[in-house]
Amino acid sequence: MMDVVVRKSRAIRSIYEQDRALFLESEQGLIRIWPQTDRIIRVSYTENGVFPENQGEEYADLSGKEKGAAWTGSEGQEILVRTEELRVRVNRETGSLIYEEKDGSLLLAEADAMSKQVEEFPYFRPVDGEAQTAQIKTVDGVKQKVLETAREYDRMLYHTRLSLKFKEEEVLFGLGQAQEGVWNLRGTVQYLHQANMKIAVPVLLSSEGYGILLSTQSTAIFEDDVYGSWLYTEADEYLDYYLIAGKLPEVVKGIRKLTGKAAMLPRWAFGYIQSKERYETAEELVKTAERFREEQFGLDAIVMDWMSWPDNLWGQKTLDERRFPDPEGMTNALHQKQVHFMISIWPNMSQESSNYEEFRDAGCLLPNSNVYDAFRKEGRELYWQQAERGLYCYGVDGWWCDSSEAVCPEWERGTCPPPAVMYQDFVDAAGKIMPLDKINAYGLYHARGVFEGQTGITREKRVLNLTRSGYPGSQKYGAILWSGDISATWDTLRKQVTEGISFCACGLPYWTLDIGAFFVKQGVPWFWNGDFPEGLEDPGYRELYVRWFQYGAFLPVFRSHGTDCPREPWNFGKPGDMFYDALQKAVRLRYELMPYIYSLAGAVWKEDELMMRPLIYDFPEDRQAAGIGNQYMFGPALMVCPVTRPICWGSCQVPAEESNKRMEIYLPAGTGWYDYYTQEQYAGGQTITVTVTMDHIPLFVRAGAILPMAQTGMNTSEQAEKTVELHIYPGADGWFALYEDAGDGYGYEQGEYCLTEIYYSDESGTVSVKTEGNQKYHNEIKVLHL
């Protein structure tokens, strides 16, 4: 018979306090319980006796032994840690934790046994040396694929697993942006890795009043099925997580406390941004901007997609002199029209380019790769130097950091790989050129380099970085995340609505997508999978585009982009045509709402708020609202209900079903509601059926809302000079903070802004206003009762 090897005991045998944390030692391992605030508890577990301080170094509160909140501990049948707001109970025999509010109500429990596990493995990091590589051409660019790489021993790392017990009725959401459009993650497996159409964020949120933030920068897996409920990380120095207690607004504030406050974007970032694949010359860019002004269609920025570089020098951060003979003249011409200029830049570079040669000579490339090393300060600094001298010096206003996952192996496959295969492909490919314990965070370091580079030159111009990959902390670097190269189908639109809400709930406030989807037609690669082979000739696509555009008008950032057909509004008709008029109506409303939208952005920075928020954010007591992921609040006043079915045309010019013209909408309880367009009033806590029309999507206003608006304009600079009109919606008392500043630069960090608090008394029907701050930014206010 085989000899059994008895497991080491997890019973707590030694307890001590050190550096404001409580340490619990068993034969098996060491637990550290470290309250960060009265409502944030950091818990770590190791089996080698040490907690290196560099894990999660991008998080604000992970280092510095002076950090931490006051707490008390006691021993009895169990170990009890108390803060002013929370109780943490520890089972002496198993080391499992239970989190409770101070009144004893349960928040979360770890599994009864084996709740924290780590598995040691030797890590051999990739290094320059003998390697097998291949140049591959993908739709996403020319990449140098590492087939086999040289390695050298680095250190021991660990796979970690945190096992949990969830309540039966508990709704779980978050974990960033996936592709499947699943709101409640119960009963699912989620693979947290970066990809073209995935943004992994290790934040799990609960309807029961807490969130979990993993400190890992490696890939991770969430599982809640017959095999158990747990969070697994691929490569860390120890198991480490934060329990953040509170309703969702408080959890978001806790995430920002740990990972950094969101930077203000420039005001123009909240206007309409026009992009496509691609504008090819300076002349085309300027003429397109002129056409927008002639059409009197609002516009704040135009975007230059890839291949702005000379010849085939992929990723070279200089402009092709033949197509862009006078870059500064081009940006000046755009600026004269109040149009800003954004340009695409990439982390990988052609080996024939001078940018690549400079990185190679400086030793600042990832091993055996043509991708620069964003993890090193020297690499980030050199990348910015190239961007500054080749592009920024000519008046570039914003950056589009494409392909910021650095590797995208799923796009090398002929068919869509299953989720588990896609996960392993990413781990293998990224692990051949990047540190395994940081492979999910390349985009974070990339954004850091752009932000620190630009702000190191000037504080008069805010950083705007549209990037495809990010991580907790990206918000402090002026990053806007977008959902990648999606395809034009009604099902994709439906899923994107849910995924955008899920992403923003994780505390990253700025998210957008390609309005109309990137791929419209169906091509050979599996991801080129649109439903409209005739493109703009198919009225079905024009209808889908309009619905996407109407939804996009209520996203934090409002941007159209894609290939297969042009995206400028005049391609969808002319004034008087149903589709064109619907686009014009949506963009006008966006600009009319600019005082409200920019105030939401101010609250994102100042109060750690969200612009795009799930219903549970504003209605935490409504159990039905907790399970809804296809409607959302846009700030505290507006509930957006995107239309995700055709009412005119299906694909291939087949008429849509008549039933699609009716749409069920849930109105959260605890408040009354107004239909924005008809002003019809409804009680909350009910599901209503509305008739859908082509000229707008359903939009509801909360009773008691104060909605600051202005007469529509053609750009945000023009809009900022207009009188602010306060639209009051009776039915409850109301409050709103109107935020105004210069619209650019970082003076707001030194108090250069004006904040006007507006109060509405429903009983008396009166409005009172209190203004503080720099009055030079304050516009005239006019009160309009409903």
Query: Under a CB-based contact definition with an 8 Å cutoff, are residues 615 and 628 in contact?
Result: yes
Catalytic (active site) residue 538: no
Do residues 414 and 185 lie in contact, with contact meaning Cβ atoms separated by under 8 Å?
Answer: no
* E-assigned strand segments in 392-456: 398-401
**Which of 448, 551, 539 is CA-nearest to residue 492?**
551
734-741 sheet: strands from edge to edge: 734-741, 753-761, 766-773
Active site residue 405: yes
DSSP state of 465: E
Q: Which residue among 485, 514, 538, 741 is the active-site one?
A: 485
- Number of Cβ within 10 Å of residue 374's Cβ equals 26
Query: By the 8 A CB rule, do 729 and 756 touch?
Result: no
Which H helix or E strand runs over 584?
helix 578-592
- Rounded to 5°, the CA angle 633-636-642 comes to 20
Residue in 628, 635, 643, 645 with CA at minimum distance from that of residue 697: 643
Return d(Cα 619, Cα 247) in angstroms, integer. Answer: 10
Please state the separation of Cα 199 from the chain's center in Å. 8
Residue 8 tokens read as 């080491």
Query: Which entry of 405, 538, 564, 622 is annotated as an active-site residue?
Result: 405
358 classed as catalytic:
no
The DSSP element (H or E) to which 667 belongs, if any, is strand 662-667
Give dist(CA 728, CA 613) in Å, integer.
22
Question: Which residue in 58, 402, 437, 514 is the catalytic one?
Answer: 402
Which is it for strands 465-467 and 638-640: parallel, antiparallel or unpaired? unpaired
Cis omega (within 30 of 0) for bond into 278: yes
**In degrees, to the nearest 5, what angle opens at C-alpha 46 toward C-alphas 43 and 48?**
155
Say which residues have a Cβ less than 8 Å from residue 699's Cβ, sequence separation at least 6.
554, 638, 639, 640, 641, 675, 676, 677
What stretch of H or E contains 544? helix 539-552
DSSP-derived secondary structure letter, 140: T
Query: Tokens in use for 756?
Result: 């006007």
Active site residues: 402, 405, 485
